[in-house]
Amino acid sequence: MAKLLRIGMLCLCCLCARAEGVSITYALVSGDNDPHWPYIQALLQLACSEMGQRCALLAARDMNQGRAMEQMQRPDSRVDLFWGMTSRERERKLLTVRIPLDKGLIGWRVPLINADRPQLFKSVKTLPQLAAFRAGQGQDWPDTQILQHAGLPVLTSPDYPNLFSMLRQHRYDYFPRSVIEVQQELESPNSKGLMLDPYLLLHYPTAFYFFVSPQRPELARMLQQGLEKGVRDGSFEQLFKAFNSDHLRELKLSGRAIIELPNPLLPEATPLARRELWFHP
């Protein structure tokens, strides 16, 4: 209830803003069940409110991240924005709002596994041991390249919901999910027959950003400035804790074996030196 109240207050601030308003058409790349959307919506409204803007959010559906990127690069693009993990390619082709929306939590991963294999990773402690199992990932996700670069076998699909049914069918062994999305995914019908592995925690340094169409530089500037203001006045941190603190405690991360993976896709401009932007477990 407290979380919904905070979102409502942010939305009210936007509706009462003195500006004429800004239209933002976003690509809902993971469909209606995108576990990131409630938090992302709150962050968009926070950025708009901090800049005194009234923002109208409109969804462009039925596209994965690769298609969203293609659409956003067109001169006649009707898609303004999507959110996702950074890579050198994405930052080269799109405008990057370089505030890690999740404070780096997207790089902390716990495996979804079949409920009929609860002890799958009980004895796995090292990267070579993990390489005996096959992961599932989105075809156009940067995570796929990160896992492959570390020597881990990966089976891909262009369709996010299909990855859950593929896991149930034992077409691969585990689905690494970020600690900020896995709890909501477990509550979805997609996860019937699946469970959260209690033994492993994967980590690679990365950031989850807003990416904006090159046709909307004013939108990228507004979001960057609005989020920066939210960081300075503490409202960004309040939202982060409201949406993430409870499920981070529930995951009991401290008792897991951590396997570190390098990230060859991490751009040099990633603001790793700004400690206030990152979660420190």
The pLDDT of 71-84, averaged and rounded, is: 92
What mean pLDDT do residues 252-281 have?
91
Query: CA–CA distance from 34 to each of 19, 27, 91, 182 (Å)?
Result: 30, 11, 22, 11
Domains and CATH numbers, the chain: 2-104+208-251 (3.40.190.10), 105-203 (3.40.190.10)
pLDDT of residue 7: 47
Residue 14: per-residue pLDDT: 41
Q: In this predicted structure, which of 11-15, 22-26, 74-78, 249-253 has the lowest mean pLDDT?
A: 11-15
- pLDDT of 31: 67
Residue 16 confidence class, pLDDT cut points 50, 70, 90 = very low
User: What pTM was estimated for this model as a whole?
Assistant: 0.77
Query: Of 61-65, 125-129, 276-280, which one has max mean pLDDT?
Result: 125-129
Residue scoring higher pLDDT (7 or 57):
57
- Which residue from 71, 30, 48 is spatially nearest to 226, judged by alpha carbons? 48
pLDDT of amino acid 94: 97
Q: What is the mean pLDDT of the chain?
A: 90
- How do residues 111-136 score in pLDDT, each as one tens digit? 999 999 999 999 999 999 999 999 99
Average pLDDT over residues 54-81: 90
Residue 2 has pLDDT above 70, yes or no: no
Binning pLDDT at 50, 70 and 90, where does residue 140 land? confident
